Structure 1
Amino acid sequence: ATWLSGQLGMFQTHASYDLVAACAGLPYGLAEAVRLLQEVERPVLVVCGEKFSDKIGTVRTSRMIFGDGAAALVVGPAPAGQPADVEWYQTYASGPMSEVDAIVWPNPAFDNHITVLGPEVRALVGRYLTQMMDELRALPHPDGAAGSLLEAIDLVVPHQANKTMVTELARQAGIEPERLYFNIERVGNTSSASIPIAIRDAVRDGIIDRPMRIFAPGFGAGAVAGYVVMRIDPAIVA
């Protein structure tokens, strides 16, 4: 983060630090940005960047999934009297060994390259996604209408982990497949960068063609997870 600050020509005017949350990096980063904005009314730059090409080696099941990527968001204070675009967020962490060891790097058994244990990851995602859905069903509609926050969501842009797995687990949790957006077939799993890159691609593809309420869940190494419900205006996505 400090290197990036220097590249941007920002010196001794701000705080700069790294936050490691892997595939839940965007929800964690936005949660931290919102907390900072409650103390200092200055824009916060959230950068999600990942490099897997030097960590996946020749392990076929990992090499075919992961990709390199980066994306950034600028989060600023809402104008006086205006609703915030980041409407709700939540972060989680847990640490049973079965979850911590589901995504391993470095792994001596595979020449210190990253390895993913699919069944363990699937179980982790299923538990977290069910918990998220239960929370959204219990929250009121943000516009004051009847129904829950879950019913107010226009589009779900999940962490791009595995399209088949996420679609099936989302269906089990009560999310219809047609409400999901994926771009993993084009860019792979770019961990923390996957959600913001997918949002940008959804704008490019014409899926987000007006201001929309997005539900963006992420889950991964640690084990950590989180989600954010936010309004995205395609006019400000580059």
Structure 2
Amino acid sequence: MSGIRSVARGIGSYLPERVVTNAELSQRIDTTDEWIVQRTGIRQRHVAAEGELTSHLALVAARRALTDAGFAPGDIDLIVLATATPDQTFPATAVTVQAELGITRGAAFDVQAVCSGFVFALATADALLKSGAFERALVIGAETFSRILDWEDRGTCVLFGDGAGAMVLEAVQQDDARGAGLLTTHLRSDGRHRNKLYVDGGPSSTGTVGHLRMEGREVFKHAVGMITDVITDAFAATGESADSIDWFVPHQANRRIIDASAQKLGIAPEKVVTTVDLHGNTSAASIPLALDVAWRDGRVQRGQLVLLEAMGGGFTWASALLRW
């Protein structure tokens, strides 16, 4: 099928310098390394330094993605930044990144779908590129979840970390059905579940930032089914399957959810990219972080099929299939 496709030209990521291990957390709250690893697969997480903002993390990841793509900032005319932890209520964190990169044309804005944010941003950028309104986009997922955690709540504070990842997309006329580019995206939400994973504050409700709250068992109960739902849709839309994809890069939330989803879908374990042990759940940043690791260590190669998925607060859930 010929037409314009959004082709991934480069990717980059960034994790703050400070590492908080499970052992360090066990000195602050009633938990152990064994308890955390057994239930989540997480061994450590990165925490932004004082004064280090979401935009700072996003900017480093964006510059690394541009370098990987071989583009200058001036080549970009669209920035879509996914975050649930913006620098400010407004303006959008994306415009701060735009300004710091020296970009003065096009558009920059944020999207908010929590952990599904990067795939929602990818789909948004893809639609705008295909419309012909823009030529090249920076799609960024960046979070400083450490700022909204209750560090006394062992059910949540052990799970999350800070980080950022970015991808450069370019609109390309693609006449080869097996050519590179984003093949399909599938986005879902169901607000009936909003109180199962939420932040108990906000400008309109409490006038405060608030803290993350989660019903862990409920999230786990819904996660695998929702994830497989949008992946099945991606396979149906493209004619691909668990056998034909080369890599599965899921949202890095919990090792048990990742393993259970892959097993239910029939995706071989050796195709699954897992980095959750290194940085915990970085929400909208986790997919590009994991993909960047697999690209740089040589696992992901040009021409391969890469499947992305995520589920987050709302609930939101989404999938994307692209030929790298």
The offset of 1:149, in angstroms, is 4.1
The offset of 1:113, in angstroms, is 2.1
Is residue 215 from structure 1 mapped to residue 313 from structure 2 by the alignment? no
Map of 1:145 onto structure 2: none
Map of 1:62 onto structure 2: 156
Q: Is the 8 A contact 2:311 2:318 kept in 1?
A: yes
Q: Distance in 1 between matches of 2:277 and 2:108?
A: 33
The offset of 1:114, in angstroms, is 1.1
Map of 1:53 onto structure 2: 146
The offset of 1:36, in angstroms, is 0.5
Query: Per the alignment, in what secondary structure is the counterpart of residue 77 of structure 1?
Result: strand
The offset of 1:50, in angstroms, is 0.4
Map of 1:26 onto structure 2: 118
The counterpart of 1:202, out of the listed 294, 300, 311, is 294
1:174-217 CA distance string (max 9 Å, x none): 33333211101111110011000000111233322454211000
Change (3 A) 1:3 1:178: same
Q: Distance in 2 between matches of 1:67 and 1:118?
A: 17
Q: Is the 8 A contact 1:136 1:150 kept in 2?
A: no
Q: Distance in 2 between matches of 1:139 and 1:29?
A: 20
Change (3 A) 1:112 1:213: same
Query: Per the alignment, in what secondary structure is the counterpart of residue 250 of structure 2?
Result: coil
Provide the aligned C-alpha RMSD in A. Answer: 2.1
User: 1:117 corresponds to which letter in structure 2?
Assistant: E
Query: Per the alignment, in what secondary structure is the counterpart of residue 124 of structure 1?
Result: helix
Is residue 152 from structure 1 mapped to residue 237 from structure 2 by the alignment? no
Q: Comparing both structures, which one devotes a greater share of its residues to strand?
A: 2
Q: Is the 8 A contact 1:22 1:192 kept in 2?
A: yes
The offset of 1:89, in angstroms, is 0.9
Q: Distance in 2 between matches of 1:54 and 1:134?
A: 35
Change (3 A) 1:160 1:152: same
Q: TM-score, normalised by structure 1?
A: 0.85
Change (3 A) 1:181 1:230: same
The counterpart of 2:191, out of the listed 95, 109, 113, is 95
Identical columns (%): 29
Change (3 A) 1:80 1:155: closer
1:213-237 CA distance string (max 9 Å, x none): 11000111111111110122xxxxx
Map of 2:225 onto structure 1: 127
The offset of 1:105, in angstroms, is 0.9
Q: Is the 8 A contact 2:139 2:168 kept in 1?
A: yes
Q: Distance in 2 between matches of 1:196 and 1:212?
A: 16
Change (3 A) 1:80 1:218: closer
Q: Distance in 2 between matches of 1:74 and 1:51?
A: 22
Map of 2:64 onto structure 1: none
Q: TM-score, normalised by structure 2?
A: 0.63
The offset of 1:140, in angstroms, is 4.4
Q: Is the 8 A contact 1:90 1:227 kept in 2?
A: yes
Q: Distance in 2 between matches of 1:113 and 1:126?
A: 25
